Every structure is written in structure tokens, then in C-alpha cells.
Amino acid sequence: MPAYKAPLRDMRFLMNEMFDYKSHYATLSSGLHADQDTIDMILETMANFCENELSPLYQTGDEEGCHFENGHVTTPKGFKEAYENYVALGMQGLSYPEEFGGQGLPMSLNLIKSEMMATANWAFTMYPGLSIGCMNTILQYGTEEQKNTYLPPLVSGNWLGTMCLTEPQCGTDLGQIKTRVEPNGDGTFKMYGTKIFISSGEHDLTDNIVHIVLARLPNAPEGTRGISLFIVPKFLPGPNGTVGDRNGVNCGSIEHKMGIRASATTVLNFDGATAYQIGEDNRGLHAMFTFMNTARIGTSIQGIAHAELSYQGALPYAKDRLSMRSLSGKKNPDKVADAIIHHADVRRMLLTQKAIAEGGRAMVYYAAMIADKMTEGLLKGDQAEHDLWDDRLGFYTPILKGFLTEMGLECANLGMQVYGGHGYIKEWGMEQIARDARIATLYEGTTGIQALDLLGRKVLLSSKGKVVRDHTAEILKFCGEHARNRKMHGFIWDLTKICAQWNTLTLRIMFMARKDREVVSAASNDYLMYSGFAMMAYFWAQMAAVSFEKLENGGNEAPEFYTAKIQTAEFFFERLLPRTAAYAESMVKPSRSMTQMAIENFAFF
């Protein structure tokens, strides 16, 4: 079983040498106490917790799974104790206001903390992870009374939260929601309905669970225009963070899943449960996107996590496993065969994992800085600033979620492949990573939904291609700054071509869609994957530029680290970036080959 080791050197490279988090934090009110000593303490504390407490529970939690009996869920052995230790560290409220018991630090630190937890044990991390969006929603849309009631116990971790969207008849198409509320006459409501696939909807980790639920008010308009948002606690709140009477929300069952078996995925029945409205009438979906965007960034971290953990499992095996001789001559002449890491195809798999894990980490850490600026606008009450950065983050979100989870799944499968037949055996732990990774491309919006959101909504409808022009302008500015650097010529030339092609492809699809509306759906997945590789190329070029500079002027680390960065960047540009050529050719084909077949011909002959 892979034993997780936090990649602190790579994290610090991004934070300190590439993105200059110190200067970034100096611009934030929440960055006042984010000095280097505090950051180092958080990184070291979380690394120790994840390596020594969460990682050992990863395989055992999967083997045991959750237990369901009479509406109650018991988490696997060791989870409750680990969660109590996590709460004692005070890390749940890392990025939340001090007035509610948090530490008031930047949101990016919470995301970095989450990456370590996610890689060490994703199933465990889902329990505290779902609370993040719950807290964000209450913080932004809750009344003062709701904030004072729910945020202190949620921020401390004494309570946990969920989001409840999906119903048996609808997932992505939330306009079909049937869960309803009836007014009690005192400002509260009675809720009736069933929600499914609710992660962490029931468990034994905390005394209370706060559900954020989409439902319909009486006489609400049909479709998404008639959805409102409600807080429904498992137990009604008592004074000072205590719990009162049991509410009318009950767990009907838990799902038996392919992966993340230690995370309880529940069916929740609302049988006249007391509900408290949050936000405006029929504007619940708008408020819920606060939750959803947070969840999608969190899920993109899962893509990095599975690539990283699978790489950490595959690398030592590739160094130890002996099989055949290298084509270029014996590498272990005193052994019966050479270690498989000497075979180029095995290196292809390992380098793909390394490139995706480290490239994805750079993408997420940069997006985390945007999230910091968005949150700063909210804290200052500057709606225009908040919306500016929210829109920019909105462009990154579907790419991060869709592309990184797809590549994380690919990397998890490559980890199994490195092991050969042993990768299919449970005792090694590699097949668990692949099983766990599979869900990441599905929940919080499938890859297809992310692709439609990116191309149809963010690129074509909302910005008429401007969002791509703005992003490529940023890339071209970087290219101009490094155009005279001979060592960067290969990266700069490829990036320049990608920028031109990205804009051209966007315009071609825009014009094609005027006559062929289905072309947007037909092209969207190719467009998303193209955008992911293009965006990651930009970040790998940046990492290469920093590494060249450090090697030339003397970094504070052994040169092997920077050399490996440059060599991984070269691998990405030579072996992975060329995939964009196939996506580019495919996305601009007419939709006819997808749409021409009669439904009756989708049959077994």
C-alpha cells in the first residue's frame, strides 16, 4: 500500500519561488497573520497528521467500509479518533473569520491543507470537506442570526455540513426538483422530499450535521427559477452550540459503491423537517453555486491527489521490480534483470503521473490565489471586486474540475499498469486509487457538464470568446518576457502557437454554431481537454523558467530538484501537449456524425 509523503518541497516551490505567496498575502486583509512561520507550522502539522494518522486508515477504511443500521451510520475503525484529533488541531476553521472561531487566514491555505488530506485519505477528507461549502454559503447569504448559530460549531468542526441537491429523478437538471416546503407561520418551514447521493449525509463523527438543501416554496415557478435554499439541521440548534430536539430528516440507506467506500453516501428523507430559509425566494440555485464552485475546486484537487498518490506508489516499485534488460544495455549488471524504471515505456507512465500531479498543483495553487482575491472583495464589501475575480475563477473551475479529474483517473490507471498483474491485486493498494479516482469525473458535475459549462456558458454565451482572449493575452505576455531566453525557446514557440490556435478554434466553433447548434455539445469535451493541456503547458513553462533562473543564479536547494522540473516540463511539451492536435481536429468537425443515427438504430443487431 502506498505510504503517503507530503510533497512539501514542491508545495514550497510554488508558494515561495513561483507565485510569491508572501507578496500576495501582503495585499489581503486575511493575510495579516500569514507570515512564514505560521505557514510552515500549518504545512508541517498537516503533513505529520496526514502521513501518520490519515494515510494508515486509507486501505483499512476501504476494506471495512461504513456500517448502516436503523438509520445510523458508523464510520470505519479509527475514523472517529482521527477526526477528533483533526478538530483538536484547529484546522477546520483555518480560513474563516475569527469572530466565529476561525483563524482568519487566506482561503488558499485551506485548499493547500485539503490537498494533503485528499492525497492521504480522500474518503476521510470528504467528511470535513463538504462543510467548507456549507460554511461559505452561510457566510455569504445567511442572516446574522444564522451565522451566529451555525458558523461557530461548523468552524470549530464540532458540527459538519452537507449539500443536498440530487433527487431520484434528477441530478444535473435541477429544474426537476420536487422537494418542497410549507410555511409554519413563524418564519420556519416544514420540508418534504427525498435526496440521494448525499455525501456525509449521516455519520458518527459529530453531534450534529447541517444540511444545505434545495427545495420549492409554495406556488414557486417551474424549473430552476423556482428553487429556494434552506438550512435543515439533523438536530435543532440549542444555545451555545449545543443540540436540541431531533429534526425530521432521516437516513434511509447508504450506497454500496465502487470506491470511496469509507465515505458514507446516503439517501436522506425529509419528513416534515424544520427548515430555515437562507437567501432570497426562488434564488436558491444562485446561492448554491457558492457551494458548488467550492466543491468543484475541491474535486479538482482530487485529480492531483490520485495522480500524486499513484505516482508515490508506482515509483518505488519501478525502482525495485526487475524484468528484462534495457534496450540500451545492462543497467543492473549484477542482477538477473534490470529494474523496470530503465524501460522507456515505464518512464512514460511515471513521467505522465509526475507531470500531471505537479502541473495540476500549479494550476490549483494559482486558482487559489484568485479565490483569495474573490474572498477579499467579499470581506471588504466590494461586490464589483468580488464579481471580477469570481468571473475569472469561473473560467478556471470547469477546466480544473473536468481536465484534472480525467487526468487523475488516467494516472491512477497508469499506476496499476506499472505494477502489471500485481496492480490488480488489492494488497498493493494501487487498484483502490483507481476505484476511488473514478467518482471524481462524475460528481459535482460530470466531465460533459463541465465541458458544456466551459464552452457553452463561459466562453461563447457569457463572454463571446473574450475570456479566452484575456487568458491567452496573459500567456503571450509571459512569452514576450522570455522571448530572448534561448533556453526557453522551445516552450515559448509552442505556447505562442497554442494561443493562436486556441483563439482560432473558439472563433470557428462560434461561427459554426450559428448554423449547427449541436456543434457546441459535440465539440465541448474536446474543447475542455484541449484547454486543460493548453493551460497546464503555460504553468509548466513558468516552472521551467523559474528553474532555469535558480540553476543559473543559485537556488536554496540541490540542483537536482530544478533539473527534474525542467526535464518534466520537456516531457510534457514533447509527449503530452501534442494531444491537443487531435482535440483541435476533432472539435471543429460538424455534429452530423454524432446526430445522424436514428434512435432506433442504437440497438443490438
Sequence-distant (6+) residues with CB within 8 A of 281 are: 217, 220, 228
46: which DSSP letter? H
CB 137 within 8 A of CB 286: no
Determine contact, residues 484/446, Cβ cutoff 8 Å: no
Q: Give the contacts of 83 (CB within 8 A, at least 6 positions apart).
A: 124, 127, 128, 157, 205, 206
- Angle of helix 56-64 versus helix 79-89 axis, rounded to 10: 140
Dump strand ranges (E) for 386-454: none
HSE-up of residue 31 (Cα within 13 Å, Cβ side):
16
Is residue 40 classed as helix, strand or coil in its secondary structure? helix
| Beta-ladder partners of 195 | 268
Which residue among the candidates 115, 358, 376, 444 is catalytic per the annotation? 444
Q: How far apart are CA 350 and CA 12, in angstroms?
A: 22
Grid cell locating 300: 479538482
Query: Is the distance from CB of 198 to CB of 266 less than 8 angstroms?
Result: yes
In the block, cell 544495455 appears at: 329
Cell 461561427 identifies what position? Answer: 511
Instruction: Show contacts of 575-578: CB within 8 Å, 24+ apart.
Output: 575/348, 575/351, 575/352, 576/352, 576/355, 576/533, 577/494, 577/498, 577/533, 577/537
What is the three-class DSSP state of 199? Answer: strand
Pairing state of beta strands 249-254 and 243-246? unpaired
CA distances from 302 to 83, 297, 533 (A): 20, 9, 18
Spatial contact of 177 and 217, defined as CB atoms under 8 Å apart: no
Compute how many other C-beta atoms are within 10 angstroms of the C-beta atom of residue 484: 9
Nearest alpha-carbon partner for 374 in 388, 360, 358: 388
Residues in a beta bridge with 267: 253
Residue 403 near residue 532, CB atoms below 8 Å: yes
- Cell numbers at residue 418, please? 506499472
- Paired with 275 in beta bridges are 189
Angle (CA) 64 446 508, round 5°: 155
Q: Which triple of cell numbers denotes residue 376?
A: 477579499
Neighbours of 160 (CB within 10 A): 24
Whether residue 31 contacts residue 106, with contact meaning beta carbons closer than 8 Å, is answered with: yes
Q: Is the dihedral of CA 527, 530, 532, 534 positive or negative?
A: negative
CA–CA separation, 167 vs 256, rounded Å?
Answer: 17
481 catalytically annotated = no
> Which amino acid type is present at position 226?
G
Q: What share of the chain is helix, strand, coil (3-state, %, to 5)?
A: 65, 10, 25
Q: 371 and 386 in contact (C-beta within 8 Å)?
A: no
Residue carrying the nine cell digits 466590494:
382
Residues involved in catalysis: 444
